[in-house]
Amino acid sequence: MNWKHAMATFVLGTSLVTTGTITHAEAGNNGKQQADASIFMKEDFNGKNVKSEKEVKEFFEQNQKTFQLKPNKDLKLLKSETDDLGMTHYTYQRLIGQVPVANSKILVHTDKDGNVTAVNGELHEKAPSKIKQTKEINKKEALDLAWDQIDVSRSEADHVQKSLKGEDFNTLTENSDLVVHYEDGEYTLAYHVELQFSQPYPANWQLYINAENGEILKSMNVVHEATGTGTGVLGDTKSLNTYFYNNTYYLFDTTKPMNGVIETFDNYGGEYYSLPGYYVTDTGNTFYSQRQKAAVDAHYYAGEVFDYYYDQFGRVSYDNQGGDIRSTVHYGSNYNNAAWTGNQMIYGDGDGSTFTYLSGADDIVAHELTHAVTDTTAELVYENQSGALNESFSDVFGFFVDSEDWLMGEDVYTPGRSGDALRSLSNPNAYDQPDHMNEYQNLPNTEAGDWGGVHINSGIPNKAAYYTINSLGIAQSEQIYYRALTVYLTPNSSFTNAREALEQSAQDLYGTSAANAVSQAWDNVGVY
């Protein structure tokens, strides 16, 4: 997440197009990818007693005219899950010529009797049966091209750290997978390259490279960062789960019901941005020094966010697999950011004017770790409307963790001025964000354009969340939002798709009156 706000003029930019039961949302040129790719369908489908992968394939075969899919050729089952309501959700990867289409999922939802209740995701009904391009470069060559593109050497980014558990871990992650890249109606055989590292700067690069000629189709550093500082430890005393080893106490929490741990580091590397840094320790188990305050908050709030997701939804860490939650404080020098880098959290100290220690705000910590949850569930693409939803869902869960007010980051923003904040769910306009589709901003899909306005246009779904929570209360709303994020949303979901996902989640959990309340909330912000 980027906590910066760009001063901008609101413009009229969004039209909504509905065709039969297939609903698309479109926002000028920036809405093309969603308009072409993401759908949510509810109708009386042919096909009953769908209770296995085989029967789902038969369902698609029976409804080929509707979906334009050949299940044996076009779909690969990723997982099937049955929830507490007895509903089963089948998640498929869309294929073209046995190659996965990037950022594309198709979900089939059945009730406890096996009736298909909804199908949503990126169907790519008009996709070709095969890709014309041939693969002329290999995975290693794609990685080399990616490193050249970002102008960082592999040796600069490579760093090995020994953990308290005894094993070495490398803070550099690099992956290269053959995919079909889709954009503006074009399907291209490409490599999806991921480069995640902490030095010489925090990065989570996502690149798409033409597999035939090596052309860079897209490159984005999607580190979710929060620009700002925080007062850090606001003078309050916190109980901490620590670990005693070799006569020293570590900010290392093994008490959570998870396979991994919650661990906190200090970046003594300063300007060199060496991550994760060194464990925060104390010989007396009293972490009271000025240097330790930011680490105390980072460690405590990471545990609080873990507890929230575990207690409310049974989710075990951000990945639901018990993965380590690793935080590093004192990152950089006067660094006005906090970030989820793809494998850990980093927190700057701020400059003392715009922000103070970033780890001092529990809603910021919850926001960033929710980006990690999104990365492992809906995988909302970080651009245009799907990117604005990515930001909005992080804001909304930041509110659920810290529901004392509707403000975001108020504990650490402008420490010399009271009552100030970065954003507001109740009044986005006060913080230079639109709160209705007639104010939607068509910004360029570039870094300078905030990737199509992901931090600006998130005010619209934020205001819809505000209306929903006011109508249904926190207890129902948080369940509805979590179900939508983890069950129904797909990578290219638009605002309209989010409305439909939330309506369906409300219907599943609480019935028609709750679904109507969600509908009214989105009507109020002009998403129909």
User: Could you give the residue numbers annotated as active site?
Assistant: 368, 455
Quick count: other Cβ atoms within 10 Å of Cβ 116? 23
Residue 122 Ramachandran class (φ > 0 left, ψ -120 to 50 alpha, else beta): beta
Helix, strand, coil fractions of the chain, as percent rounded to 5: 35, 25, 40
Distance CA 1, CA 226 (A): 5
16 touches 528 (CB < 8 A): yes
Q: Which residues of 378-416 are buried (b: 16+ CB within 10 A; e: fewer)?
A: bbbbbbbbbbbbbbbbbbbbbbbbbeeebbbbbbbbbbe
Q: Which residues pair with 220 in a beta bridge?
A: 206
Tell me how far CA of residue 82 lies from CA of 51, 56, 90, 111, 396, in angstroms: 10, 14, 9, 9, 26
CB atoms within 10 A of CB 370: 28
The structure tokens listed for 39 are 């759908």
Cβ count within 10 A of residue 308: 20
Distances (CA, A) of 68 to 63, 104, 179, 497: 8, 15, 21, 20
Q: What's the DSSP call for residue 485? A: I
Structure tokens at 414: 């402008």
Report the alpha-carbon distance of residue 290 to residue 302 in Å, rounded: 20
Across the strands, what pairs with 218? 208
